[in-house]
Every structure is written in C-alpha cells, then in structure tokens.
Structure 1
C-alpha cells in the first residue's frame, strides 16, 4: 500500500502564505538549499501525527495543493498510472540527495506526485 508522505502548496505569493500559516497554525518554514525557491513546511513535532510538506511559488500563478505518494520505484508506477488511465504531466526528475519525483493526473484530472527515496539522486 502506498502512503501520502508529503504535501506541496503552490501559491502566487509564498511570503504572504507562509505568514498566514505561521500565525494560524504555528507551522514553521525553512528555506530549502536547492536549485529553486522552495520552503520546507514543518506542521508539528516529530512524534505528532500528520505529515510535513513544502511551499513554492506557483509556476502558472494558480494556487493548488498536491499530495505526493511514496512508491517503490517511480518508473514502475508511471507505467501503472498510464495503464490505468492516468497521465504523467511532469516526467521523472531528481530531487538532489532526496529521490526521484514525477507528477501525474488521475483519470478525473486530480494532480498528485509519486516519489521514491534515493539519497544518490542528482
């Protein structure tokens, strides 16, 4: 069974959105040291229920939340997605030192990510 492991909030104004969630939910944001502007979102202590996520400026100016699902192998799951009527909208890409990620849509058009961890990803 594959589990949701990460959420991503895409918004036109990250600073405004971070301030909102800091004040309303006590979430903590930390700038990721990667190739693009991305903030890690910490929603609670390590032993609290729930998942953490990320926040970024939306590439198309639209606000959305995308859930990412842990899979054993992104390539294998891309085949499964396509075999069952889904489509890949962003091909497999490395997240340096984290793993590999692809974005897909289910047959109803809902966006989701699939990711497998690999600390050697470049």
Structure 2
C-alpha cells in the first residue's frame, strides 16, 4: 500500500499527457469525480487533478515530439542529476534532461532498459501528491516489461529498491519492490509483458466499486481492456484506456475502506 511518506524510490507524482486536456479533464471528472485546477498561465496548460481540493494527479498537453497519450509515474529521487547519470550508466535512456519546475521541484524523464517510460521527482516546495491509497487516488504502480529479471538491477541501483518474489496465481511469481528507507510498504510490482504489447508503467486508481467505475469509463468514451477480476487477498481490478488511449487500472482493494 502506498503512503505519502514518500521515501526515496517511492512513487510521489503522476501526470497525464493528453492531446486535448479539456476533454481529458471531463472524462476523468466523470469517472472519478476529479476537478481540474490550472497551474497558471506560465505553466503552459499544465494543472492539477483534484479531489476535495487535494491533488491526486496532474494533467497537461503532450510536450515530447512523437509521444502518445499516456500516464507517467514519477518516483522520488533525492538527486535528479545523479539519477540521470545512473540511468545512462545502467542501460537506460534520458528522454528529458534534469530541469527545475519553478520552485516546486526538479524532474527528469527516462526509459528503462526494457523500454518502459517513467520519471523522477526531486521535491522542492512540492513533496508530491496530497493523497494516495484513498478511493479516487493512486493506489498502486505496476511495470510491464519483456523480462522482469532484466530490469531489477536497473531499478535497484537507481531507486534503491528492495526486491522480493511472492507466489501469484497458478504457479506464477509476482515481483514486489519496496523502498530501502523507513518502514515503507511495497510500492510497485513487476510483471512480464504480454505478447504484442508495449513496455509500460501502469497506474492503479483506488475506487469504491470497480464495476460501477467501469460503467462510467464506458459511458465517457473509454475502453475496458481487461474486464474486472478478483484476486484473493488483493481485491477486484480492471485495466482501461481513456478516450485518447492512455492506459490506467482501477482497483477496489481488500484492505482499503470504501
């Protein structure tokens, strides 16, 4: 379960790059009840998706040439410049060089050796999201790559993760990552990529009722990519795409009050 302690290596921000931010704000507002708050004219259309006045995610126009609509998960890095050097040294790619975001913090965007895109955030005045784990907010992060074992050392060296394997399903193994500092719970999972799919990070949003949420996804023009299913001890979840194709998951966790 994620927390807002935001130890190094934990997810502390996420945003959506969209070709039509107004339409995306309307879609996610209809699905999760979020409202959009602009970060101001100097932010280039970037702003905050909020629930009861608290930031649960962010939204902005696509800024990278050739990029597709997608959610980007950011992980806490105490030193973004050092992180960029580590990425290069360990077979990853720096897509967006380290840079300051006003006084809010410093960020950079990378691609891991397996081909999945993500980012890091070095807090300034903004430590991270206001809320996680509660219904309507980020509840989990999951990485899909062709060979999970091939990226373990990359993320361990970059984010300081501890890695463990747990049984999952019929003879399967699920790779769990946790932060090295503090008593931080698990913060991410790593799964093998399905044939024909592209490497990616997938955010899970907590919802009170997965099935009711999927009805709103469909009504808003989104797509259910993986129908709702139950996993013992975990909860009920489904994978979706918004009207522009950005993927996300919804989950009603067994241990999160509605």
- Normalised by the size of structure 1, how large is the TM-score? 0.86
Distance 1:101 1:37 in 2: 18
The residue number in structure 1 matching 2:214 is 78
**After superposition, what is the alpha-carbon deviation per residue over 1:34-70, rounded to whole angstroms, capped at 9, x for unaligned?**
113321121353459xx81110110125311100000
**Where do 1:15-94 residues align within 5 Å?**
15-35=149-169, 36-44=172-180, 45-46=182-183, 52-60=187-195, 62-94=198-230
For structure 1, list consecutive stretches of 5 or more residues without a partner in the other structure: none
| 1:111 maps to which of 235, 244, 247 | 247
RMSD: 1.9
For structure 2, list consecutive stretches of 5 or more residues without a partner in the other structure: 1-50, 52-135
The residue number in structure 2 matching 1:5 is 139
Distance 1:71 1:91 in 2: 15
Moved more, 39-48 or 11-20: 39-48
**After superposition, what is the alpha-carbon deviation per residue over 1:59-113, rounded to whole angstroms, capped at 9, x for unaligned?**
1253111000000000110011111111101000112211001000000101100
Cα pair distance change 1:103/1:16, threshold 3 Å? same
- Relative contact order higher in (CA < 8 Å, ≥ 6 apart): 1
Equivalenced residue count is: 117
Equivalent position SS for 2:190? strand
Equivalent position SS for 1:52? strand
Cα pair distance change 1:62/1:20, threshold 3 Å? same
Of structures 1 and 2, the larger Rg is shown by: 2
Moved more, 66-75 or 35-44: 35-44
